[in-house]
C-alpha cells in the first residue's frame, strides 16, 4: 500500500540525492560526453578559493540568527495578546498571517517596489517626515541590501511564528490560566510563570525551523537582488543556482548541494535528537 509513495520518494528524492554525492566529485559542463573526475577538488575550491560561497554561508547564519532574535520574541508577544483579547485578536491574526499565503515571488516584487529609489514608499515616507537624507536605493546599496531583505523576511514570517506559538499555547489547558487569575497574577506574571516555561520547547523548535529555513532560502533573494550588489547578498542556494546553471558547472553546483544537505539536514537532525533528549529528561 505504501509502494506508490515509495516509488515517488525514491525516484525524486533519494535517487537525485545519491547522484548529487556522485556528481560532486566531477568537473563537467552539462553537455560534454566526458566528465572529469576531480576527487574532492570542488570542496577544496569552495572553502579555500570561493569567497562568495563563504559569504553566502555567513549570510545564511545571519538570516537564521536575525530571524530567531526578532521573530521569536515578537511572535510570542503577539500570540499572548491574540489569545488574551480574542475578538480583536482574531482579525489581527488574520492580517499578520496573510503575507505567508502569497507567493514569495509576488511578495518580493511588492517589496522591491517599496524599496524603489523613486516611487518606493520607504523613501517617500522618509522625505515626508523630513528624513530625506536617509533615502537611498535600499536594495542597490551594499550597506543596506541585506538589512532590507531581512525586513521583508520578518514581514513574511512573523505571522507563521505567531501561529505556531498560538498552537502551542492552545495545547495548555485553560484551567491553568483561570487558577492563575484567581491567585491574582498579573498579565506579565502569568506570562512569566506559566507561559514562558511551556514555550521553551517551542522556542527551540522555532530556532530549528529558522536554521533549516535559511538553507531553503532562494526565491526572495533571487527576485530582489539576484545576490547583488557585488555578490554580497547571496545565500547558499542562490550561489548554487548561479554556479550550476549560469556558469554551467553542475559538478560544483552538486558539491554546494552536498554542503547544503549536510549543514541543514545533519545539523538539524542532530539538534532535534539532542534537544529532544534534553527536554524529555
Q: How many CB atoms are located within 10 Å of the residue 139 CB?
A: 23
Q: Give residue for cell 536617509.
A: 134
Regarding 133 and contact with another protein (CB under 8 A), the answer is no
Among 2, 34, 175, 277, binds another protein (CB under 8 A): 2
Q: How many CB atoms are located within 10 Å of the residue 278 CB?
A: 10
Binding-site residue total for another protein (CB under 8 A)? 84
In the complex, minimum distance from the CB of residue 266 to another protein, in angstroms, rounded to a whole number:
10
Closer of 16 and 132 to another protein (Cβ)? 16
Cis peptide, bond prior to residue 119, ω within 30 of zero: no
Regarding 23 and contact with another protein (CB under 8 A), the answer is yes
Regarding 121 and contact with another protein (CB under 8 A), the answer is yes
Burial class (CB in 10 A: 0-12, 13-18, 19+), 224: buried
Q: Give residue for cell 483561570.
A: 178
In the complex, minimum distance from the CB of residue 48 to another protein, in angstroms, rounded to a whole number:
21
First to last CA, the chain: 37
Closer of 176 and 271 to another protein (Cβ)? 271
Q: Which stretch binds another protein (CB under 8 A): 37-45, 51-59, 173-181, 200-208?
A: 200-208
Among 104, 195, 225, 233, binds another protein (CB under 8 A): 104
Among 25, 160, 211, 221, binds another protein (CB under 8 A): 160
In the complex, minimum distance from the CB of residue 101 to another protein, in angstroms, rounded to a whole number:
5
Enumerate residues 6+ apart whose C-beta is below 8 A from 41.
27
Among 76, 206, 207, 221, binds another protein (CB under 8 A): 206
Q: Which stretch binds another protein (CB under 8 A): 40-48, 64-72, 135-143, 203-211?
A: 203-211
Cell (9 digits) for 154: 520578518
Cell (9 digits) for 62: 545571519
Closer of 164 and 185 to another protein (Cβ)? 164
Q: How many CB atoms are located within 10 Å of the residue 116 CB?
A: 17
Regarding 138 and contact with another protein (CB under 8 A), the answer is no
Closer of 66 and 250 to another protein (Cβ)? 250
* CA dihedral of 36, 39, 40, 42, whole degrees rounded to 10: 0
Cell (9 digits) for 167: 498552537
CA distances from 25 to 11, 43, 114, 161, 264 (A): 21, 9, 43, 39, 20
Cell (9 digits) for 274: 539532542
- State the Cα–Cα distance between residues 222 and 138, nearest whole angstrom: 16
- State the Cα–Cα distance between residues 70 and 53, nearest whole angstrom: 26
Closer of 40 and 266 to another protein (Cβ)? 266
In the complex, minimum distance from the CB of residue 225 to another protein, in angstroms, rounded to a whole number:
13
Among 52, 124, 126, 194, binds another protein (CB under 8 A): 124
Closer of 95 and 196 to another protein (Cβ)? 95
Among 87, 119, 184, 281, binds another protein (CB under 8 A): 119
Q: Pick out residues in 73-102 that bind another protein (CB under 8 A).
A: 78, 81, 85, 88, 92, 94-102
Amino acid at each position: 500500500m505504501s509502494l506508490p509513495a515509495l516509488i515517488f520518494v525514491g525516484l525524486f528524492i533519494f535517487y537525485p540525492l545519491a547522484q548529487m554525492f556522485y556528481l560532486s566529485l566531477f568537473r563537467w559542463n552539462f553537455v560534454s560526453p566526458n566528465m572529469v573526475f576531480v576527487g574532492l577538488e570542488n570542496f577544496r575550491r569552495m572553502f579555500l578559493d570561493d569567497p562568495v560561497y563563504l559569504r553566502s554561508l555567513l549570510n545564511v547564519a545571519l538570516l537564521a540568527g536575525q530571524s530567531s532574535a526578532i521573530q521569536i520574541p515578537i511572535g510570542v508577544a503577539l500570540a499572548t495578546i491574540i489569545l488574551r483579547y480574542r475578538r480583536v485578536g482574531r482579525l489581527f491574526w488574520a492580517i499578520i498571517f496573510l503575507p505567508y499565503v502569497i507567493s514569495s515571488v509576488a511578495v518580493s516584487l511588492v517589496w522591491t517596489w517599496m524599496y524603489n529609489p523613486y516611487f518606493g514608499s520607504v523613501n517617500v515616507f522618509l522625505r515626508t517626515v523630513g528624513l530625506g537624507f536617509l533615502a537611498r536605493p535600499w536594495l542597490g546599496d551594499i550597506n543596506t541590501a541585506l538589512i532590507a531583505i531581512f525586513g521583508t523576511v520578518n514581514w513574511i514570517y512573523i505571522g507563521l511564528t505567531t501561529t505556531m506559538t498560538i498552537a502551542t499555547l492552545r495545547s495548555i489547558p485553560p484551567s491553568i490560566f483561570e487558577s492563575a487569575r484567581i491567585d491574582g497574577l498579573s498579565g506579565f506574571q502569568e506570562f512569566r510563570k506559566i507561559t514562558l516555561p511551556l514555550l521553551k520547547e517551542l522556542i527551540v523548535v522555532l530556532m530549528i525551523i529558522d536554521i533549516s529555513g535559511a538553507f531553503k532560502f532562494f526565491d526572495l533573494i533571487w527576485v530582489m537582488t539576484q545576490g547583488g550588489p557585488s555578490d554580497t547578498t547571496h545565500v547558499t542556494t542562490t550561489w548554487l543556482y548561479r554556479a550550476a546553471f549560469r556558469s554551467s558547472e553542475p559538478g560544483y553546483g552538486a558539491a554546494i548541494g552536498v554542503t547544503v544537505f549536510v549543514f541543514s539536514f545533519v545539523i538539524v537532525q542532530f539538534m532535534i535528537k539532542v534537544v529532544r533528549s534534553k527536554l524529555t529528561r
